[in-house]
Homo-oligomer: A and B are copies of this chain.
Amino acid sequence: MSRLYSVGKEEAMLAVFSIVPVGVGSSIGDQLAEVLKVVDASGLPYKINAMGTVVEGEWDDVMKLIKQCHSTVKKTGERAFTTIAIDDRKGRPGRLEEKVKSIERRIGKSLKK
């Protein structure tokens, strides 16, 4: 599937998203595990952190993935809150790794990741 994606082209953007299932109790780890399976299988470059998943790709590929994740949560629950933040900069692919490194170079110090 990954060959369908276009990271490395000029049009790639960064996005972070998180989904909060509502109405399934205060433990939402099972739902999030299903979401991360979808992300991991997508072939899109990603990195997860304690508050969300960062992905890199073209608009349509990223949004297709997020829709798939959101739908996964809606399958087992009747309400979901999804937040998405996009940083789209012309001609800057490869930023999933590069953006943090660029800050570290400026500071001259390795940061916690």
| A→B interface (CB under 8 Å) | 14-16, 18, 20, 22-23, 25-30, 32-33, 36-37, 40, 46-52, 54, 56, 59, 63, 67, 70, 74, 77-91, 95-97, 99-100, 102-103, 106-107, 109, 111-113
Given contacts A47-B112, A51-B54, contact A82 B88 (CB under 8 A): yes
Separation in Å of the A105 CB from the closest CB of chain B? Answer: 9
Minimum CB distance partner of A27 in chain B = B23
Across the interface, do A85 and B95 meet the contact criterion of CB distance under 8 Å?
no
Bound Cα distance from A109 to B39, whole angstroms? 13
Q: Is the CB of A40 within 8 A of B111?
A: yes
The residues of B that contact A29 with a CB separation of less than 8 Å are 102-103, 106
